[in-house]
Amino acid sequence: MSEPAKALVLDFGGVITKTLFETHAETETALGLKPGTLTWRGPFDPDTDPLWRRMQAGEISERDYWLARARETGALLGETWDRMDQLLRRARGADLMRSVRPEALAAIRTAKAAGKRLAILSNELDLFYGADFRKTLPFLADFALIVDATYTKILKPDPRAYRLVTDGLGLAAHDCVFVDDQVKNVRGAEAVGMRAVHFDVRDPADGFARALARLGITTRSEASA
């Protein structure tokens, strides 16, 4: 049996925070839109979201997808939105903690208490949320490293993105458990030797339980199974 990993490396949007698909009702309220206006559902109903299917097929990037959604949402308000952070800021307001998954906070606390290192590897952290949002999230102080392609310009699944994490933490790839909701990014992590977990946004508790297990941490739900 392999030794437990030493670090938990998380994607941000979708893993630490809820997806915009999950918070359509809150977005519609924040923007003054009628309930049911936002119909794109991504992984929750891919049959009705052709743009999401194109992204999953590799025809467009994740950035392309969200920029398109930002533009069309802004147009509903008679505004021109040409940046992704305009959608996130208007949809979620100043209190981003409301969108953080409670399962993520619990997993972060559990990993930290077990002496595990914490890192974030994101393709568009500040690009989506704006450079000043981090101070509103106190739990980020627990992270030893945040690698954001907004600045590095190296996007997952490029092998160099994962190596920025391993080099920054001073750990071997197999000592890191990487969690992401995009299959291509999970495969990229596996290709460089990380232990990777595909995070299903429809079942957050299971994703974090599997990640913690690879860190050698048994959750209460696993223990009772």
Please report, for the chain, the start and end positions of each structural domain, with discontinuous segments joined by +.
7-17+100-224, 20-96
pLDDT band for position 84 (cuts 50, 70, 90): confident
Report the predicted TM-score, pTM, of the whole model to 2 decimal places.
Answer: 0.92
Tell me which of 3.40.50.720, 3.40.50.1000, 3.40.309.10, 3.20.20.150 is the CATH number of domain 7-17+100-224: 3.40.50.1000
Residue 222 has pLDDT above 60, yes or no: no
pLDDT band for position 223 (cuts 50, 70, 90): very low
Of 171, 146, 173, 179, residue with least CA distance to 159? 173
Residues belonging to the chain: 225
Averaged pLDDT, 114-125: 96
pLDDT of residue 148: 97
Mean pLDDT for the chain?
94
pLDDT of residue 43: 96
pLDDT of residue 220: 60
Residue 180 has pLDDT above 90, yes or no: yes
Residue 221 has pLDDT above 90, yes or no: no
Distance CA 10, CA 7 (A): 10
**Is the Cβ–Cβ distance between 96 and 17 less than 8 Å?**
yes
% of the chain with per-residue pLDDT over 90: 85
pLDDT of residue 224: 43
Distance CA 212, CA 8 (A): 8
Averaged pLDDT, 183-188: 97
Higher pLDDT, 165 or 223: 165
Averaged pLDDT, 170-199: 98
HSE-up of residue 88 (Cα within 13 Å, Cβ side): 25
What is the torsional sign of CA 49, 55, 58, 64?
positive
Asked, as a colleague might, if the bond just before 157 is cis with ω within 30 of 0, I would say: yes
